[in-house]
Chains A and B, each alone.
Chain A
Amino acid sequence: MIVESETGRCLQAAIQDRDAHAALTNSFSKRKTFDELNAIRAEASDVSWSAFNNAKRLLDALPIGLDQPSVGIEPDGFLTFEWHRNPSWTFSVSIGESSTLYYAALFGNQDPRGTCRFTSNEVPQILISLITQALHG
């Protein structure tokens, strides 16, 4: 029993270590993008706090290991994340004050576009799929 309990404690500690490491890695790998987002918020007075917070939440939810996007802003204060390989192969998603995400891509002669909701803290699968296509074809 003691051994099992020790084992359990060790396992729990290992899991906590792993989660802490993952959170740290996630935070570290996204730091540059968060910095870009903060800089844009500081520069542009037309970005609302809601849009900014939604963008931060979306960025935070991006899976670890995914290439980080470039951050931009549209004229009406929507924030954008872009994954770009070349001018004919690019994907952009916009987020404003609501939970609706607006996306469009150019993959050679194809130009998929649409909307989806970002209500939980999970990135919609369609976005992951299009980001992967933008980066890796």
Chain B
Amino acid sequence: MIDPLNVPDIDDGEQLARFVTQKGQFRSSNRTVTQNLFVPPNTSAELSVVRHRETTQVELWQIGQNVASDMGRELLGRTDLVVAEVRQLFLDVVKSPLPLNPNHADIIGWPAAREDRKAIAIKLARIASNLIEPN
């Protein structure tokens, strides 16, 4: 995990994880993820992700388990994104460390209108990896 006392800025080459906790967030037929995974709530200006940087797979999945548990849901998997590709969609990724999760980051820069958010979410789904199931 990243040193909480020294959280670095986010490089273009970094990978991000977004955890899947609902069936409608991926297609069971081919494991691709849907836009539902990436639409931030209308009341929110950001979308939570977790940086891979300086984490082991075990740590990453543990964070995922914690995220799902906090939501009262089951962890179904995760999808990975590359920061540079997110930024090409005119969004930004900024560090947003939490007390127990220094790797936490936010995707910001979302437009206000729901239909515009959906359009971007569809593009995020296109660049995201297929569903990766927990070990």
Contact = CB atoms under 8 A, between A and B. Distances in A.
Given A92-B35, A102-B114, A114-B115, A76 B122 contact: no
Interface string A5-32: 0000000000000000000000000000
Main secondary structure, interface of B, reads helix
Contacts of A84: 27, 34
Interface in A71-99: 71-76, 78, 80, 82, 84, 87-88, 90, 92, 94
Interface residues of A, number: 29
Given A75-B40, A115-B115, A106 B27 contact: no
B103 interface: no
B55 interface: no
Given A70-B34, A106-B122, A80 B115 contact: no
A22 to B, nearest CB: 29
Given A84-B34, A114-B115, 18 more contacts: A44-B22, A70-B34, A72-B24, A73-B22, A73-B24, A75-B41, A76-B42, A78-B114, A88-B126, A92-B122, A94-B39, A94-B118, A102-B114, A102-B118, A104-B116, A104-B118, A113-B116, A113-B119
